[in-house]
Amino acid sequence: MKIRVVIPSITREFEALGLEQYSPCARPGTEISVTLLNSGPASIESRYDEAVAVPDIVSKVVAAEKDGVDAVIIDCMADPGLDAAREMVSIPVVGPAETAMHVASMLGHRFSVITILDQLAPLFDRHAAKMGVVERLASVRAVNIPVLELDDSERVVKALIEQSVKAVKEDGAHVIVFGCTGMIGLAGEVKKGLVEQGIVDVPVIDPGMLAVKVAEALADLGLSHSKRTYPTPPEKEIVGY
Amino acid sequence: MKIRVVIPSITREFEALGLEQYSPCARPGTEISVTLLNSGPASIESRYDEAVAVPDIVSKVVAAEKDGVDAVIIDCMADPGLDAAREMVSIPVVGPAETAMHVASMLGHRFSVITILDQLAPLFDRHAAKMGVVERLASVRAVNIPVLELDDSERVVKALIEQSVKAVKEDGAHVIVFGCTGMIGLAGEVKKGLVEQGIVDVPVIDPGMLAVKVAEALADLGLSHSKRTYPTPPEKEIVGY
Amino acid sequence: MKIRVVIPSITREFEALGLEQYSPCARPGTEISVTLLNSGPASIESRYDEAVAVPDIVSKVVAAEKDGVDAVIIDCMADPGLDAAREMVSIPVVGPAETAMHVASMLGHRFSVITILDQLAPLFDRHAAKMGVVERLASVRAVNIPVLELDDSERVVKALIEQSVKAVKEDGAHVIVFGCTGMIGLAGEVKKGLVEQGIVDVPVIDPGMLAVKVAEALADLGLSHSKRTYPTPPEKEIVGY
Amino acid sequence: MKIRVVIPSITREFEALGLEQYSPCARPGTEISVTLLNSGPASIESRYDEAVAVPDIVSKVVAAEKDGVDAVIIDCMADPGLDAAREMVSIPVVGPAETAMHVASMLGHRFSVITILDQLAPLFDRHAAKMGVVERLASVRAVNIPVLELDDSERVVKALIEQSVKAVKEDGAHVIVFGCTGMIGLAGEVKKGLVEQGIVDVPVIDPGMLAVKVAEALADLGLSHSKRTYPTPPEKEIVGY
Amino acid sequence: MKIRVVIPSITREFEALGLEQYSPCARPGTEISVTLLNSGPASIESRYDEAVAVPDIVSKVVAAEKDGVDAVIIDCMADPGLDAAREMVSIPVVGPAETAMHVASMLGHRFSVITILDQLAPLFDRHAAKMGVVERLASVRAVNIPVLELDDSERVVKALIEQSVKAVKEDGAHVIVFGCTGMIGLAGEVKKGLVEQGIVDVPVIDPGMLAVKVAEALADLGLSHSKRTYPTPPEKEIVGY
Amino acid sequence: MKIRVVIPSITREFEALGLEQYSPCARPGTEISVTLLNSGPASIESRYDEAVAVPDIVSKVVAAEKDGVDAVIIDCMADPGLDAAREMVSIPVVGPAETAMHVASMLGHRFSVITILDQLAPLFDRHAAKMGVVERLASVRAVNIPVLELDDSERVVKALIEQSVKAVKEDGAHVIVFGCTGMIGLAGEVKKGLVEQGIVDVPVIDPGMLAVKVAEALADLGLSHSKRTYPTPPEKEIVGY
């Protein structure tokens, strides 16, 4: 099986990094490939960043289908371009936020999202509302570290643990969901940090890794999004894309 | 007062047409200007069309603020780019769908949206859910006429009346909302058609015209969107925009 | 255009005061008139006060339509008599609470209402629920100053700023809505107070002033409430009114 | 135990009729008394009727408490004046609609309300929404017989059966609730009519009779409404009441 | 009238205790009988306890109907087996939690449940959601005393008062609901404790006592659950029950 | 990886059948084992059937954990015993209904469930409500074939296609979900039937097969339910289990 990860960024070093981070999630026989954007932002931290990333995200998803991959993951917790991309292809396109919020709702009573910046809280709240799981969202908290500084993983882990403990103790979270796919691979350490603080009973969801598993599951089953919800757009003149 | 209408289309003839359609809505002293996109689609009939329209919509809104206009209207019932544009400016940016759905909720118990194509129904349903007024949405119906054929206004009016009658009689609508800003100016005729069929008690909302009035009202009051909800994006490298 | 403000009070001095407060909101060409109640309470601070105000509110709205005014505003954040009045007339009847809550929902993620007395909080909560925007209501806070003491505007402004800051910092409000129309005209000072405390990004809605603008907008468009939602009552014997 | 039924009408013949209809519901030892309005409408079929009934309803509830009764029932499915009356007294005030909708939600999956006039449907919808049980409301149907013609009980029963059958078969109702207290005493015949048409499994709730039972239950337990929700109004000048 | 209380426990001393506690709630002429389980847990403090209690609860409800009782109460705030029991009988089966939450919603704006153990909070939250009253649930708090230690009523009352005060002051509760039927009979003392701390306006609901009154009311009216919601199960082979 | 399927039935022939049906879903390296109940019903078609199945379901899940399996699937769309079983073990316990409804919500706008019997519709409605996805549930339809006759797969497929077409055309479904795990393996034929009727754009979810994939995914990630939501029950005396 072939899975393509579309990283919605023009930052070159994310290509090797993404491959390194995503490959261990794949099961034997699943081949991960990674693609960056040619046009778009260095990182996504606002709806404007999202807006200028989406057109090339969609073209990368279209290219992935032409390349014969079995499923695509959009590597960002804003799920940028998810709807538009699904209109343009038939293969499954997996949004880490959509997936993680639904799975979190299955695993426990209430979940908290720990994201990068405070100002992104309304985004998650509305995303959860759109999906119908807003009653299950205990809180949105932030480590307040920008995407491009997430490579300092020690600092990130420490901040994630701190906010996760607060989410559990103050907000009533029963499940923790990372709020940025740039936090991929840190669930083990965060879980360990929670246990050290006596919180032994709270799962930690790494949306990037979960997206790989769900992509594999959908592809195995031959399931994809409904083209009745995401119909192929009518043909028309488009300038600049 | 100056109001800029951003038409999310590259179709040249929409410029004069838009000016002609929007100008009569303005009160004395309000000056309407219209701008098209340089890059983007001929019309918006899908989320993909929306995706390739948004980057230039945002740049047109930014330009409008620099030009000193008092408020901007994004001339499309998908409210494309509304969130991203609000992040980039401080002046009010009015989305016709958001405005029309809230005002419809004030005027009557349940409203129906009559849009262009059946496949756009989920869009309105989710838009209403995001705004919290989904319980007030009686139904979404379509005339099934593409945007670029809306200039045949006799056919459009006839179809609008037909669907509005069904919305009232079968779906329990108490208010009708046009589901495409390209239907601007037709509320009077549709209202008349309803009355001729014995439906004398149902208001018909023309979202484009309403958007002008709400833009005037917000600018009069010095009110705009919350920059806490729509914070200015962090500066970063962006390629291609 | 003529707009009639119905002040749901028998307190004589509110007549001149109301005219003085509302007139500056009107655009050139809009003429504001004000009417008090002949029977009813000195002020509205409970559902009982509301109950004894409503019959004469309705008769004042009916009289306004006979006088040829274009729209009516019921000058109270309980929107007393809004439904009954709409049944009796065809011209738009604007409720400041209904209007302010919908507009607040358009301008930001969550809003807080700062009202006069703590005990009115359930009223706003249920009002928001009835309108479908309860998820957007961050909190209801009170200055705990009765209506008849609102003329001490320095004290009121200070208390409004204090509660607004708490609403933003503790309750997550992105927009502030005044919870009593007696606070009309204070938005500028409250906004200034917020800015002085470093909160530069939160709009402050003055529901009385907003109601004037929305009344103008509806009258401009020839829009009014749905008579299907608010049908003319059947004729019958009524004693005492 | 003493229970007072406040009939929100000035129609004299309703007094003896009310006593005759309500008395059989009471258990041994419960004494029912009935009071009409001195000012107000002949019947309640609109929000305007409600508005002119409420002030005297409240004064009748206040008088009932002074008379030493244990609980009051407001004999109308609009629950007119329920909130205002609760502010003014400490004894339980029972609203037949509020009570019937909550009990219907306990007895089955979805309930339908069969009321007098089609135009009252939005009232029930919003009432159910305010109470939080709108998801349990399958439909609102009407017999389209005005209150003052409800004494033709044969016609009413026939229409109730007809609409109840439709509610069950077309709308998915599992429980039927009468939508006017003037239908009191007809549940047995309607139930019989349903059984004759093969619908043996649907309870029929008579809100007037249920209100008596709930009034007895609350009085037995010494339970009443929360004065934190319904605080005693501040004293003030009121003219005309 | 005969009411059977099914105590979902194998603990022998609960039989006499239950009879002693429930009998005073009954009105003259109502005869209370109590039955324990032959198989099941000593007490219900988890969903597992519930699972192993339900089969015998249902058989005890079936036996009650055969014994000619008029209504059954399942003496536990988890309402264990309520749905299954209703499928098997036609007489009313009253769940104290379902009943108390609906009545609390009628008496005040928001209610808090004070239960035995913190870990039961999600149960009440989901129960309220299933019933549609989750918006009315202010909070769930716990005394953290296991069921089998509830006989130390002084300790229990003290803890109930302490948590009720917090529910009112910190969580905005307007009504208190006991979260375990083992707290039966303590409402008077808790109410007194609240009054002593200045909280004079908050009703305290004792779900066990309320269940008796509601059982009497339903039996008086000949009302029971909808067999369309709770149809008699198809006959089939069952081993072990 | 080892996955245990617990079939909540005492019907012997389901053991071989279950193994035959579930094994093809597993990926290479996943070993499926199947276990029946020793006590319980022949099939689950009511809440009573569920009640008498749950105790032994839980003991089979506990046994599975002791046997060292990596995840358990409860093979029934009522998800019987899911909550209780999760309290007793740490390994993931997958409920096909919970899983299928969340995945359906990700794949399309609205889904319909096609179950066995009409009377089960309220079950799915409440299940969806408990999960927060009730707004995404377009309808519940039934083939009206009892579980024990599901082996006539030609008849079942025909009925599934017929009801799926109605769900799409009349109820607005964009995704179809089988409402009984006994329909496992039929998705391909139903999909083909839909295509033959011109419905090419609607995914068909087979909850049993999906459950295997989700079990594999959770086990791969080391994720399981939150023990804060499903804490280990306190130890106590239990008779009969």
Domains and CATH numbers, chain F: 2-95+209-221 (3.40.50.12500), 97-207 (3.40.50.12500)
Nearest to C44 by CA among C1, C10, C67: C10
Of C190-199, D119-128, D135-144, least confident by mean pLDDT is D119-128
pLDDT at A135 over 90: no
CA gap A68, A64 in Å, rounded: 7
Beta bridge partners of E238: F41
Predicted local confidence at residue A153, as pLDDT: 93
Tell which phi-psi region holds residue E72, choosing left (phi > 0), alpha (psi between -120 and 50) or beta: beta
Element (H, E) at A43: none
Kindly give, in sequence order, each residue whose CB lies less than 8 Å from that of residue E48, ignoring residues fewer than 6 positions away.
Answer: F58, F84, F87, F88, F233
Spell out a b/e string for A146-173, using b for 16 or more CB atoms within 10 Å of the CB, else e.
ebbebeeeeebbebbbebbbebbeebbb
Predicted local confidence at residue B227, as pLDDT: 96
pLDDT at B108 over 90: yes
Residues of C in contact with B209 (CB under 8 A): 221
Kindly give, in sequence order, each residue whose CB lies less than 8 Å from that of residue B33, ignoring residues fewer than 6 positions away.
Answer: B2, B3, B4, B5, B19, B69
Averaged pLDDT, E208-213:
98
Calculate how close chain E gets to D114, using CA atoms only, in Å: 17
Check D109 against F129: CB less than 8 A apart: no
CA gap D74, D212 in Å, rounded: 10
Predicted local confidence at residue B130, as pLDDT: 80
For residue B108, the Cα-to-chain-centroid distance in whole angstroms is 19
For residue C90, the tally of other CB atoms under 10 A from its CB is: 13
pLDDT at C127 over 90: no
pLDDT at A223 over 90: yes
Averaged pLDDT, A55-71:
98
All chains having 3 or more CB pairs closer than 8 angstroms to chain A? B, C, E, F
Residue F122 contacts D where some CB pair is shorter than 8 Å: yes
Asked if D138 and D173 count as a contact pair (C-beta separation under 8 A), the reply is yes
Residue in the structure block whose two tokens are 């989901």: E126
Distance (Å) of CA E153 to CA D204, E145, E164: 42, 11, 16
**Each residue's pLDDT tens digit, C143-178:** 999 988 999 999 999 999 999 999 999 999 999 999
Predicted local confidence at residue D44, as pLDDT: 95
Residue A227 contacts B where some CB pair is shorter than 8 Å: no
Confidence class for position A93, pLDDT limits 50, 70, 90: very high
Residues of A in contact with F131 (CB under 8 A): 105
Calculate how close chain C gets to D209, using CA atoms only, in Å: 27
Predicted local confidence at residue E34, as pLDDT: 98
pLDDT at C47 over 90: yes
Interface contacts B/F by beta carbons within 8 Å: 6
Predicted local confidence at residue D126, as pLDDT: 84
Check A122 against C135: CB less than 8 A apart: no
Check F205 against A224: CB less than 8 A apart: no
For residue B188, the tally of other CB atoms under 10 A from its CB is: 12
DSSP code at position F52: H
**Each residue's pLDDT tens digit, E17-45:** 999 999 998 999 999 999 999 999 999 99
Check F229 against A27: CB less than 8 A apart: no
> Across the 241 residues of chain F, what is the mean pLDDT of every consecutive 10-residue run?
98 95 93 98 96 98 98 97 98 98 96 95 87 89 93 96 97 97 96 96 97 97 96 95 91
Asked if D96 and D207 count as a contact pair (C-beta separation under 8 A), the reply is yes
SS3 of E116, please?
coil
The complex scores an ipTM of: 0.96
pLDDT at D134 over 90: no
Predicted local confidence at residue D26, as pLDDT: 93
DSSP assignment string, C148-215: GGTT-HHHHHHHHHHHHHHHHHHH--SEEEES-GGGTT-HHHHHHHHHHTT--S--EE-HHHHHHHHH
**Each residue's pLDDT tens digit, C68-85:** 999 999 999 999 999 999
Most D CBs within 10 A among B109, B134, B170, B200, hence the mutation to make, goes to B109
Kindly give, in sequence order, each residue whose CB lies less than 8 Å from that of residue B158, ignoring residues fewer than 6 positions away.
Answer: B193
DSSP code at position F148: G
Predicted local confidence at residue F130, as pLDDT: 80
**Each residue's pLDDT tens digit, E117-176:** 998 998 898 888 888 888 899 999 999 999 889 999 999 999 999 999 999 999 999 999
Alpha helices (H) along chain C:
13-22, 47-66, 82-88, 96-107, 121-131, 153-171, 187-196, 207-221
Query: How much is the pTM?
Result: 0.95
Interface contacts C/E by beta carbons within 8 Å: 6
pLDDT at A134 over 90: no
**Among residues of chain A, what percentage have pLDDT more than 90?**
92
Check C174 against A122: CB less than 8 A apart: yes
Most D CBs within 10 A among F125, F126, F136, hence the mutation to make, goes to F125
Predicted local confidence at residue D223, as pLDDT: 98
**Tokens representing residue C82 in the block:** 């809004």
Predicted local confidence at residue A127, as pLDDT: 87
Residue C169 contacts A where some CB pair is shorter than 8 Å: no
**Among residues of chain B, what percentage have pLDDT more than 70?**
100
Predicted local confidence at residue A129, as pLDDT: 81
Averaged pLDDT, B182-186:
96
Averaged pLDDT, D204-221:
98
Residue E109 contacts C where some CB pair is shorter than 8 Å: yes
pLDDT at D113 over 90: yes
Beta bridge partners of A35: A6
pLDDT at D206 over 90: yes
Averaged pLDDT, E6-24:
95
**Each residue's pLDDT tens digit, B54-105:** 999 999 999 999 999 999 999 999 999 999 999 999 999 999 999 999 999 9
**Each residue's pLDDT tens digit, E49-101:** 999 999 999 999 999 999 999 999 999 999 999 999 999 999 999 999 999 99
Nearest to C79 by CA among C203, C225, C227, C204: C225
In this structure, the strands spanning F71-74 and F2-6 are parallel
Averaged pLDDT, E203-227:
97
Check A105 against F132: CB less than 8 A apart: yes
CA gap C225, C82 in Å, rounded: 11
Predicted local confidence at residue C126, as pLDDT: 84
Predicted local confidence at residue B88, as pLDDT: 98
